[in-house]
Structure 1
Amino acid sequence: MDIKVLVATHKPYQMPSDPVYLPIFVGSSLHSDLPAGFQRDNEGINISEKNPHYNEVTAIYWASKNLQTEAIGLVHYRRYFSNRAFFPKKDFSSVLTRPQIEELLSSASIVVPKPRNYYIETIESHYRHSHSPIGIDALYEVIGQQPVEYRATFSRVMRSKSAHMFNMFIMRREEFTAYSSWLFFVLFKTEEKIDFSKLKGNERRVMGFLAELLMDTWLFANKKEYVECPIVFMESEHLIKKGRNLLLNKLTGNHTQINTHIGTK
């Protein structure tokens, strides 16, 4: 099977040696000096210049318009799908190989990360406690114009306490085409309603954050079958600090964040 899994990055970083992985430098149009061997996201039809607002999602758009393979995926330079469910090593021996990806795609046409659980609050309350409400309010307006199955599913996702996050996936071509078409229709409509001048710092990456809320909406509204895969984060994670900030955000409503997304850090 012809598979490409894009590894989105915004800086030079060690990459897997398996040729199934394609390093892609997001926001390439905003940089003059790019590392050798990395795919640019500003070639062909692209939205590379939107990267400060869209993060790794500019790589999804590039793939939807320019990559012709039987299956397409997206991971991050520090976060990969893992072949080890428990205590994976923080090195490339824990990262899915081509044969392992093919095996997963033989059981379902879509691979997503295992759900991230928030336990003490819903997906919507977590978003509102961690981010400016400007983005999600605009997204609600756009979703409100979608067919009833999307409206009902989005409400269900927002009330849930877990979700498939990180904008990570591997999909067979036909699924990816359907997903990316719907995703960007919704995101572009939402972008039109956002005054980015009212967003500062990390909050300007709002479109990437909103995209995370749409994966499960599309999966569940279309009753897609998928397989869940564990992930491995290649660097140390501040789990205690993240947990503390999660609790503080819930109690105070302040937007305290650990930067776990790519694009500006």
Structure 2
Amino acid sequence: MTDTLAAILLGILEGLTEFLPVSSTGHLILATEVLGFNQDEWEVFNIAIQPAAILAIVVLYWRTFWDVAKGLFGFEKGALAFVRNLLVAFFPAVLLGLAFGDVIQGWLGNPVLVCWSLVLGGVAILAIERWANPPAEGPGVAGVPLRTSVLIGLVQCLAMIPGVSRSGATILGAMAFGVDRKTAAEFSFFLAVPTLTGATVYQLAKHGANLTMNDAQLIGIGSIAGFVTALVVVKIFVAVVTKIGFAPFAWYRIVLGLAGLAWLTLR
């Protein structure tokens, strides 16, 4: 397989999984393992293509971002609350990432950890789906209480373990704290903007000097593939979880994790 084709496939995989509760990082790690790629060589690529998925959110929700930007200039209560909630939810990940960045980096090459995280995360989703009782409708991201936003940010930190899923942790965490499904999903989408941007900037600052022109081209190709795929996936995802919930994703995680463990054992 050529590097160009690999970049396209990994980009599509990123776009498919970034905003689903199935762990995009876990999928990319398993994909590079199954395809026989060198984890270290593709590690920066897997992180650098994440802004493409972020751009998809900005495009899909441009009116929300535009209204918030205008509201900030007018010191509108809703816009200020929107930004406040995202910032306080983002802050715990910043502290943990700076404190334990090297430890977290060492986890990224461990496919066994990814598989177990997928399985246990799937079980957790089924449990929350059964026992959490979020309201049918909610006030939107700006209406989420400050305390709940902090708790969502703390739960997001679990996603630093590969295979846990950032979107899964934030969405299901929000539901467990009484946030409705649609608001929980959108909170996770918007929170991805500062979180993934910060992670990408941090990694490129550490490794950017070692990137070659070919690396940059592959990142560009993968980013385009991820952007287009994410545009399609996000809208479908919101419709699915609003109607039928997260159980299908939970069972998918469990099956994939067990299959991965079997493959890693028998190969």
Give the TM-score taking structure 1 as reference length.
0.33
> Greater helix percent: which structure?
2
Give the TM-score taking structure 2 as reference length.
0.33
> Greater strand percent: which structure?
1
